[in-house]
Structure 1
Amino acid sequence: MLPSHSNFSGKIHGGYILSLMDQIAFACASKHSETYCVTASVDKVDFLKPVEVGELVTMKASINNVGTTSMVVGVRVEAENIMTGKVKHCNSSYFTMVAKDTNGKSVEVPGLILENETAVRRFVRSIYRKEEMKVRRDRFKSSEFQLETHLELLKKHNVKVDL
């Protein structure tokens, strides 16, 4: 990683890492689907450890789950100190990529062949993550939200309700 990729604290900017991850997810999804792919969503971006200027970054991607036209691509980011050889896990994230034809219409993607326990675990984990995401999304629909039931909870947090 170069100094031009760093933020004000001298670490590699998280946005730059995220951009690289998106490119890797695109390449992985496009290779699997044999067509152009677009990013539909990114789930759970946690920056675990900073990437330092001068470290060698490795990104590993795998298709963890497939739907009809979409794929979940897991991306793992590791950084290696080239002087010491020490490798650290800096980030993992999940990109939902959708396959598109030349007219921008979604197209079917090939299925997956799960060849080992890790592949099965990743596929099942993606199923659960998708279900949990739906629960999170639906939990606070504005049409169903009842303010009164949540005011007591807010008393435990650093917030003032001024309605």
Structure 2
Amino acid sequence: MEGKPARLSRTTLTDHVLPPDTNYHNTIFGGKVMAYIDKVSAMAAMRHCRMPVVTASMDSMDFLAPIKLGQAIYVEAFVTWTHHTSMEVFVSVEAEDLLTGERQLTGTSYLTFVALDENGKPCPVPPVMPETEEEKWHHDTAEARYLARKARKSTLESKRG
């Protein structure tokens, strides 16, 4: 299967944070941020493989700073690495002050998606070809994250009995 450049999977979303999106502290609900992350990263995975996908895992979500009422949330995702039927997607979240243009990194995460065939069964995905220094770094460090996820899943399965 021929590889595809990571840039072809890049997906972004920008939205205005309004009162229904916020909590008691006038910052966006963490669950809403996580929903944006899942949506944008799934679209990036589908752009890479051009098949339906399901979310297999989400690594720890690191909230680095709040996104406040009136700011914009900017979510960007791209496929960093592929295995046989799975894809790792990196997501960054930023807050933008719409009056000054100032941006601040507010969160990052890695998600894993599995591509599905017409019968809902996992199917092979094309390899990803990193081009930029950022893409190469994520790609070069992805196998260690994959092995850590695999070990974590194995530990969880053994605890279930």
**Counterpart check, 1:131 vs 2:147:** yes
Report the TM-score, using the length of structure 1 for normalisation: 0.80
The change in CA–CA distance for 1:79 and 1:35 in structure 2 (over 3 A counts) is same
In structure 2, stretches of 5+ residues that fail to align are 1-16
Equivalent of 1:4, from 20, 23, 26? 20
Choose between structure 1 and 2 for higher RCO, CA contacts under 8 A separated by at least 6 residues: 2
The change in CA–CA distance for 1:136 and 1:107 in structure 2 (over 3 A counts) is closer
Query: Which residue identity does 1:114 align to in structure 2?
Result: P
State the number of aligned residues.
Answer: 143
Query: Which residue identity does 1:93 align to in structure 2?
Result: S
**Counterpart check, 1:61 vs 2:77:** yes
Q: CA deviation digits over 1:32-75, x for unaligned, max 9?
A: 10011110000020111001111111111111110111100101
Query: Which residue identity does 1:123 align to in structure 2?
Result: H
CA distance in 2, matches of 1:70, 1:131: 13
In structure 1, stretches of 5+ residues that fail to align are 144-163
Could you tell me whether the CA contact under 8 Å between 2:80 and 2:130 is conserved in 1?
no
1:102 alignment counterpart: 118
**Counterpart check, 1:52 vs 2:43:** no
CA distance in 2, matches of 1:105, 1:136: 23
**Counterpart check, 1:71 vs 2:87:** yes
SS at match of 1:8: coil
Query: Which residue identity does 1:28 align to in structure 2?
Result: A
SS at match of 1:15: helix
* Percent identity (aligned): 33
**Counterpart check, 1:119 vs 2:154:** no
Name the Cα RMSD after superposition: 1.8
**Counterpart check, 1:24 vs 2:40:** yes
SS at match of 2:60: strand
The structure with the larger Rg is 1
